[in-house]
Chains A and B, each alone.
Chain A
Amino acid sequence: MPGRGDGDDWLARLQAGLTEFYVAPYRRTFARARREEEDLFMLLVFAETLGVPNPAAWYTMELMPVLYEHFHDWHRRMGMEHSPLDHLKCC
């Protein structure tokens, strides 16, 4: 809507202000919920490597390289000081 005269500009700003008013108080809650979901996904992808049988392992294997960079944060969040995997020494 921007760039179509003062009226629209005013409306767009009001809209933006209202949106901020709506989302801001719960940003943290949502971020946390998303992280929890991603943590679960991590567990599913690395299940087989951690010794938990995973029927979909063949499919999740190719996702591993994508998730490697989050691995360190994940194992620390899960309460493991060091990487639980022998072949993955991130710290």
Chain B
Amino acid sequence: MNSVVLMVVGLGMMAAGYLFYSRFIAERIYRLDPDFRTPAHEFRDGVDYVPTNRFVLWGHHFTSVAGAAPIVGPAIAVIWGWGPAVAWVVLGTIFFAGVHDFGALWASVRNKGKSIGTLTGNIIGARARNLFLVVIFLLLLMVNAAFAVVIANLLVSTPTSVIPVWGAILVALVIGQMIYRWKISLLVTSVIGVVVLYLLIWIGNSYPIVLPDNVLGLGPRATWIVLLFAYAGIASLLPVWVLLQPRDYINGLQLFLGLGLMYLAVLIARPEVVAPMVNHDVPAGTPSMLPLLFVTIACGAISGFHGLVSSGTTSKQLDKETDARFVGYFGAFGEGSLALAAIIACTAGFATLVDWQAVYTAFGQGGVTAFVRGGDAILVAGLGIPADLGATMLATMAILFAATTMDTGLRLQRFVVQEVGELAGIKVNTLFGTVIALAACLALAFGAGQDGAGGMVIWPLFGTTNQLLAGLTLSIISVMLIRLGRPAWFTAIPLAFLLTMTLWALQGQIMRFYNTSNWLLFTMSILILVAALWVAVEAIIAMGRGRKGAPVASTSH
């Protein structure tokens, strides 16, 4: 099978999903109203509530939700063959992610722009809301630990990316100064920023930096993990305009550029997919595809994190309610296309099946490294760039996404720590809060396995938690629909499927951690199981209440 076929069919199906299915959902189920006064207009304050052009808003929404996760997940999941991964990404985007992201946006817009957390409290109950906070903290913790390991692995396997990755921090610092201190036009700044970043990639490609085998008793990977958390800690403490804001911005541009280049290269090079459609010969120790596929690929098929973005910031900026279809559903399309590009890179970027099998030697092996290597082959063949330059570029791209998520995530974790401290009556200052958050992340990154190597063990557990969050959002949308007397099948069926797969996967993970005596992850997964069951019970109760005809106070004009 040729990768162009995969690309055209995949993108085509998702586009058809946007054109037809999302229209059906918009007109019949959510019944968007162009005259509805959105929170952006109703509470317009120039800060949180700002009516925004839908293309700009889509750009925001997409770049906030897309990161390293839609690359990492599919890159691991292709071990079961490309067929299941593509099917889940494409169908997941059409029937799960699109409806979920779009629905979260709609639910929030119809409820004064409130976040999913607050909506949980209003619609399902206060207990579910507290549960929600616990789930978010665990999610942030896991994403930080897993991404630190992903980045460290990439820095070790692609040493040419060291210069551009750390150089990008300097680029961002200078961009911040250019904009706020020297008042240089953003267009000029953007062009200079991107050019310098690619120049750094080119320089880095000739000067790989490899850490010595032993730094103060730590291996290279462990050293990188420690350095990364030190950086993330410092970055999360700096004023946002100095580093985080320009970094987010340049990464956003980089996302569009990278994705465009990748698909262009696939079109020109037209590589054959060498991996099997369904891998009957999986390496020993690989867990069963069912149900693990559905938690390994979270972002790219359905991700609860998107609901947080949809309801947290995007809903407050929606100009017209009818824009929700484009911003929410098409945002999911963008994410799905990134995941599809990752699948193509990991399955078509190798010369033969034997080469592919040499990379995917065990579950959790290959992964982003395979994405970088495979993507490099495609980029080199398609765009005629020097060998390995593609690898440096993709590694830099993936690392920058993951690193941005890390420093934002650490900042959010600090807020949670401070909030919990306040509840307990202890004043936690910024520095101390950051230290606690950092300690938790490091404990998880190293606690999950020696030298941080076992950090990828966390990944499916992260997916599980993420899906659980998506389940919570879907149940809120379903309850709203039931209360409005509209068919809830289009959200309830994905919800039932998702909860089944999540619980099934979780049960398997708990057994696994128990058998390998990994008590840290065992405890975490038990916590998540309790939360999952709890959500299921609360959601069913709330749906039952809704059927009896509770007042529809939350969705009035």
Contact = CB atoms under 8 A, between A and B. Distances in A.
Interface of A: 11, 14-15, 17-22, 24-31, 33
Contact of B56 (A17, A26, A28, A31): A17
Interface residues on B, range: 20 to 34
Contacts, number: 50
B47 A25 contact: no
Interface string B297-322: 00000000000000001000100000
A21 B48 CA distance: 14
Contacts of B249: 21-22
B186 A15 contact: yes
B491 to A, nearest CB: 28
B47 A21 contact: no
Top-7 shortest CB links A-B: A31-B47, A20-B56, A18-B186, A26-B245, A29-B240, A22-B249, A17-B56
B372 interface: no
Contact of A17 (B55, B239, B240, B244): B55
B334 to A, nearest CB: 15
Nearest to B179: A22
19 contacts: A14-B187, A15-B186, A17-B55, A19-B186, A20-B52, A20-B53, A20-B56, A22-B245, A22-B249, A24-B50, A24-B52, A24-B60, A25-B60, A25-B64, A25-B245, A27-B46, A28-B48, A30-B241, A33-B239
Contacts of A21: 56, 59-60, 249, 252
A15 B40 CA distance: 22
Given A25-B245, A25-B313, A31-B47, A11 B187 contact: yes
B47 A27 contact: yes
Nearest to B47: A31
Contacts of A25: 60, 64, 245, 248, 313
Interface in B185-200: 185-187, 190
Nearest to A14: B187
Interface in B46-93: 46-48, 50, 52-53, 55-56, 59-60, 64
A17 B53 contact: yes
A15 B50 contact: no
Contacts of B179: 22
Contacts of B186: 15, 18-19, 22
B52 A26 contact: no
Contacts of A19: 186
Given A17-B59, A19-B186, 16 more contacts: A15-B185, A15-B187, A17-B55, A18-B186, A21-B56, A21-B59, A21-B252, A22-B186, A25-B248, A26-B240, A26-B244, A26-B245, A27-B47, A28-B47, A28-B48, A31-B47
A19 B248 CA distance: 13
Contacts of A14: 187
A26 B239 CA distance: 11
A73 B185 CA distance: 36
Contacts of A22: 179, 186, 245, 249
A25 B411 CA distance: 15
Nearest to B64: A25
Nearest to A35: B47
A36 B9 CA distance: 53
Contacts of A24: 50, 52, 56, 60, 317
A42 B252 CA distance: 38
A20 B54 CA distance: 12
A21 B313 CA distance: 13
A26 B187 contact: no
Could you say which of A15, A20, A31 has the most chain B C-beta atoms within 10 Å of its C-beta? A20
Nearest to B187: A15
B518 to A, nearest CB: 37
A20 B46 CA distance: 12
Interface in B275-304: none
A31 B50 CA distance: 13
Nearest to A23: B245
Could you say which of B59, B186, B187, B244 has the most chain A C-beta atoms within 10 Å of its C-beta? B186
A75 to B, nearest CB: 20
A73 B317 CA distance: 26
A69 B46 CA distance: 20
B442 to A, nearest CB: 26
A61 B252 CA distance: 48
A29 to B, nearest CB: 5
B187 A18 contact: yes
Nearest to B249: A22
A21 B61 CA distance: 10
B239 to A, nearest CB: 7
A78 to B, nearest CB: 15
Interface string B155-197: 0000000000000000000000001000001110010000000
